[in-house]
Amino acid sequence: MGHEPGVVCWAKAAEEELSDEEILGISFHELGHVIAEKIGGLPGHGMKSRGGSTPQPMQDEANEIVRQFLRIPVYYNKRSLEEVSLRFI
């Protein structure tokens, strides 16, 4: 299926396979991408995906946007998934 700009999609299995901290962390991370697109002109978000994967600078930039604008620290956990401590929500 195609992807719509500004829309974040979830697999239904995410509710069963991810912790609350991971679901929130990934959600905030994806919101960081939406904010980056609205801001425009950011270096990481100006990069092009290769082979279907998102460049790491673009991923890091999305997390940094969440840290700076929403004051919520997003980090990678042991499973290499974004996560946020529930105490920040």
- 46-82 pLDDT per residue, tens: 887 778 788 888 899 999 999 999 999 999 999 999 9
State pLDDT tens for residues 14-25.
Answer: 888 999 999 999
How far, in Å, CA of 81 to CA of 79, rounded? 5
Confidence of residue 1 (pLDDT cuts 50, 70, 90): very low
Show me where the domains of the chain are located.
20-44+54-88
Q: Among candidates 87, 67, 84, which has minimal Cα distance to 23? A: 84
Q: What is the DSSP string of 2-19?
A: ---TT-----TTHHHHS-
CB count in 10 Å sphere of residue 65: 23
Give pLDDT, residue 23: 92
Q: What is the pLDDT of residue 37?
A: 87
